[in-house]
Chains A and B, each alone.
Chain A
Amino acid sequence: MSLNERLLTAGRCAAQVLSDSNINGRMADGYTRVDPIKLAEAADVALMFQPMENLLGAYLKEDRPGILINMDRPAGLVHMTCAHELGHHFLGHETTTDEEIESGRSAKPVEQEADTFAYALLASRLVLVNVMKRKRWGAVQLRNPEIIYQLSLRLGISYTSAIWSLARNNVLSWTDATRLANNKKAPKIYKQALLGANGSVMDNWKPDVWLLDEYDRDLILEPHSGDKFVVDLPSHAAAGYLWSVDAASSEGFIVEPVSYDASVIKSPAPTRIGEVLPQRCIISATAAEISDVLPAAISLVQSQPWIGPVELDDRYEASTKYELLRVGASKAEKSMLVNQVKGT
């Protein structure tokens, strides 16, 4: 078989795994990304997360097949590594260690097959089109790096992988994709811009910043500990209304007081009573770790602090389901260990 035929086969194999996983049901529920960790668990592959020095991951074909992942990396890379190792598994490859993935045409054929599998699994046309439809993003918007960064969060892959997936699906030309991917500082700059002066308190840029709008209302977003959400909401601030978290229905989240940086944000023109101006809300989770079992709502209400309850249409809601990446075996693997000892 030629390399191209092998890559086509790898892509078809991923498409099969994807359709067997009830991806359509997941998307109908509001999820936007494919979860490679769940797919590995469903395939009965032992999954282990450990901090490692140079390795991104490894596939071990032992008495039981196993995937070892460097969890000391950004979530997007953890997912892509998991999908890549899962590719080695489904394609019947031997034990492999990966210090890098996605190294293009210079990589060994089995690595290219695993890369193709990973892209076809996590960033297929199916899930890409779903996010584009839900978020009303067309090919024109997706040339904008700030939107590509937001896309990458909803696909659960890195910013760079999102760029390549757009090229693989013919949304971006390879020339544009290469130009965008060469700007290595890109995601950090967009995160900073979204947070404004509030960003200065972040001690590192590993957490992500999600820009929410009305099209995120029906979605279930999958953030990580430390991530922040930014949403611009129409505000009657001049009349004394302020957006805040509805504590009754969204425990664990707060709206951060926005500290305006005069050098960045132009001071708004004097406001008239009754004028509607957008208020930028920056939301973060207060609990160090929010439950990863049930989706948690972020619910915002607009009110005059001294008056209290408001009409229900002055509300903004989004759903989140946190992914907790911890050292050790995956959740399913741990329950398997506990259950085989329990009651013996």
Chain B
Amino acid sequence: MNASGTVDRQRQELAERLREAREYVGLSQDETATALGISRTAVTLIESAGRKVEAVELGKLAKLYGQDVDWLLTGKSKEKDSRQAFLARAIHGLSSSDMEQLARFSDYLRNSAKSKRGE
């Protein structure tokens, strides 16, 4: 694959993660648009990889969705410890999808706490 193909794929994945992150907190495209001070069309374009996302916007989106910027960019979180902590507590019998929901909410709480403190 050539370099521009990789860039396209990365942008597509970022767009998908942004849509997914918005749906996780249950915000509409309109609400996201209001928060960022852009048009709803711009949000639609961002989520379909039809428009570039400025660094400042990405920071705001991360804050708005209670997500880590690194996770939005790469799909990987720097802080993997929350997931590990849950597993370590050996909550037996939990399905992997329920475990995923717990880990995700735990990440959400940690990220949104940082934003609340103004970090």
A contact residues vs B (CB 8 Å cutoff) = 46, 48-50, 52-55, 58, 60, 62-66, 68, 97, 99, 326-329, 333-334, 336-338, 340-344
Known interface pairs A52-B98, A68-B105. Does A341 touch B24 (Cβ–Cβ under 8 Å)?
A: no
Which chain A residues border B108 with CB–CB below 8 Å? 46, 48, 66
- From B35, B94, B113, give the contact of A64 (CB < 8 A): B113
Interface of A is mostly: mixed
Total chain B interface residues with beta-carbon distance under 8 A = 33
Which chain B residues border A343 with CB–CB below 8 Å? 37
Shortest beta-carbon distance, A20 to chain B, in Å?
23
Chain A binder among B6-14, B26-34, B40-48, B69-77: B26-34
B36 contacts A334, C-beta separation under 8 Å = no
- From B23, B66, B97, B101, give the contact of A337 (CB < 8 A): B66
Which chain A residues border B94 with CB–CB below 8 Å? 54-55, 97, 99
A60 contacts B109, C-beta separation under 8 Å = yes
Q: Whole-angstrom distance between the alpha carbons of A64 and B119 in the complex? A: 14
A337 contacts B65, C-beta separation under 8 Å = yes
B63 contacts A62, C-beta separation under 8 Å = no
B63 contacts A341, C-beta separation under 8 Å = yes
Shortest beta-carbon distance, A304 to chain B, in Å?
45
B95 contacts A53, C-beta separation under 8 Å = yes
B25, B36, B95: which has the most chain A beta carbons within 10 Å? B25
Q: Whole-angstrom distance between the alpha carbons of A159 and B52 in the complex? A: 52
Sampled A-B contacts (22; CB under 8 Å): A49-B26, A50-B24, A54-B93, A60-B109, A63-B109, A63-B114, A64-B112, A64-B116, A99-B94, A328-B23, A328-B24, A328-B26, A328-B27, A333-B25, A334-B27, A336-B116, A337-B27, A337-B35, A337-B65, A337-B66, A340-B116, A342-B37
B105 contacts A52, C-beta separation under 8 Å = no
Q: Closest residue to A328 on the B side, CB-wise? A: B26
Which chain B residues border A338 with CB–CB below 8 Å? 27, 31, 34-35, 64
Shortest beta-carbon distance, B104 to chain A, in Å?
8
- From A46, A54, A63, A340, give the contact of B63 (CB < 8 A): A340
B25 contacts A334, C-beta separation under 8 Å = yes
Q: Does B91 contact A (CB under 8 A)?
A: yes
B26 contacts A326, C-beta separation under 8 Å = yes
